[in-house]
């Protein structure tokens, strides 16, 4: 494993600041909303928030799973907040967003995994902000296809479900998930709506090989996944899975080239790339093909 204290130059970012950052932070706090930007300690928070874009995290801030790579707290979630979609849609309208990303913690305590709240969020945003496109990054809903269908029927502009890592490593870091189940979620999403733009992402630096990365990309293309994100895994704390190594910019570029060769419509591959990084640009790239 590598020594993680000294970051490579290509991973250093400025501390978040600026008027737009402060404004967005104040509105989100006022509406009692969570963002994956903060909860998952995203390194791009300053850049994205200063462009008035954010990834909202619904269904609370406590996950029923304890994936060993994730910074989000795990445990018993609070009671479901049925008014959350209203507050979220109002915030999107107040901020004048053109592209909103909605993700969530896993809510295995709910029969539908929280799909109804996802559905209501999409519905209200599209009603109150017709020009705003909506991307959802959903959990696997434990394979509940009715739950998946209820989300897709609200016509999100992009449907994202992250595979996160290669098949060999998957059980070690996502003990309550299944590699094939995640692939099937993407497969079923496309079968429900063949025009739907689908997306997935992986982290590197967990001990995978290039051959395993390529196999994972091939698996994603086998279920007609359109968009791909590839980023460096950053260990949130010593309690989390250790990082195997830093990937160089040249290696990320190579993975990006492989992704395009395999047929992805857009590939965002870089050390600081995360699921919603430049999400609007990815959607536009897929829409214009």
In this structure, what CATH number is given to the domain that contains residue 215? 3.20.20.70
Measure the CA–CA gap between 16 and 173, rounded to whole angstroms: 29
Quote the percentage of the chain above a pLDDT of 70.
Answer: 81
Burial call 209-231: b when 16+ CB within 10 Å, e when fewer? eeebbbebbebbeebebbbbbbb
7 domain-assigned: no
18, part of any domain: no
Residue 258 banded pLDDT, cuts 50, 70, 90: very high
Distance CA 273, CA 231 (A): 5
Binned at pLDDT 50, 70 and 90, residue 99 comes out as confident
Give per-residue pLDDT as tens, 208-230. Answer: 999 999 999 999 999 999 999 99
Assigned token pair, 77: 């979630």
Does residue 5 sit within a domain? no
Q: Is residue 1 part of a domain?
A: no
Q: Which domain holds residue 143?
A: 28-287
Predicted structure pTM score: 0.88
Report if residue 23 sits inside a domain.
no
Report the C-alpha gap between 26 and 33 in whole angstroms: 11
Helices (H) and strands (E) in the chain, counts: 11, 10
Is residue 152 within 8 A of residue 192, CB to CB? The reply is yes
- Within a domain: 19: no
- Residue 61 located in a structural domain: yes
11 Cβ contact list (under 8 Å, min separation 6)? 43, 232, 234, 246, 271, 272
**Residue 267 falls within a domain, yes or no?**
yes
Distance of CA 225 to the CA centre of its chain: 14
Q: Are 188 and 147 in contact (CB under 8 A)?
A: no
Tally the domains of the chain. 1
Answer whether 8's CB lies under 8 Å from 246's CB.
Answer: yes
Cα–Cα nearest to 156, from 189, 185, 188 = 189
Strand partners for 269:
230
**pLDDT above 90 (res 251):** yes
Confidence of residue 23 (pLDDT cuts 50, 70, 90): low
Strands 55-58 and 34-35: antiparallel
Confidence at residue 44, expressed as pLDDT on a 0 to 100 scale: 54
**Residue 89: pLDDT above 60?**
yes
Average pLDDT, the chain: 88
- What is the per-residue pLDDT for 51? 59
pLDDT digits (tens, 9 = 90+) for 144-158: 999 999 999 999 999
pLDDT exceeds 60 at position 15 = no
């Amino acid at each position: 494993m590598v020594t993680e204290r000294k970051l490579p130059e290509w991973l250093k970012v400025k501390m978040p600041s600026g008027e737009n950052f402060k404004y967005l932070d104040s509105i989100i706090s006022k509406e009692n909303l969570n963002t994956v930007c903060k909860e998952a300690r995203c390194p791009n928070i300053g850049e994205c928030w200063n462009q008035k874009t954010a990834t909202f995290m619904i269904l609370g801030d406590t996950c029923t799973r304890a994936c060993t790579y994730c910074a989000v707290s795990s445990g018993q979630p609070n009671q479901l907040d049925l008014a959350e979609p209203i507050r979220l849609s109002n915030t999107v309208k107040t901020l004048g967003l053109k592209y909103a990303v909605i993700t969530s913690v896993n809510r295995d305590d709910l029969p539908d995994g929280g799909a109804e709240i996802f559905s209501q969020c999409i519905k209200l945003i599209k009603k109150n902000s017709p020009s705003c496109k909506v991307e959802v990054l959903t959990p696997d809903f434990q394979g509940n296809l009715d739950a998946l269908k209820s989300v897709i029927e609200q016509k999100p502009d992009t449907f994202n479900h992250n595979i996160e890592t290669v098949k060999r490593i998957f059980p070690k870091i996502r003990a309550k998930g299944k590699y094939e189940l995640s692939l099937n979620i993407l497969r079923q999403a496309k079968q429900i709506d063949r025009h739907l733009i689908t997306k997935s992402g992986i982290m590197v630096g967990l001990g995978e090989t290039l051959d395993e990365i390529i196999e994972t990309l091939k698996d994603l293309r086998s279920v007609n996944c359109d968009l791909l994100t590839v980023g460096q895994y950053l260990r949130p704390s010593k309690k989390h899975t250790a990082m195997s190594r830093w990937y160089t910019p040249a290696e990320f570029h190579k993975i990006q080239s492989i992704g395009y060769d395999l047929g992805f419509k857009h590939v965002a591959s870089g050390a600081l790339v995360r699921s919603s990084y430049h999400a609007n640009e990815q959607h536009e790239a897929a829409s214009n093909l």
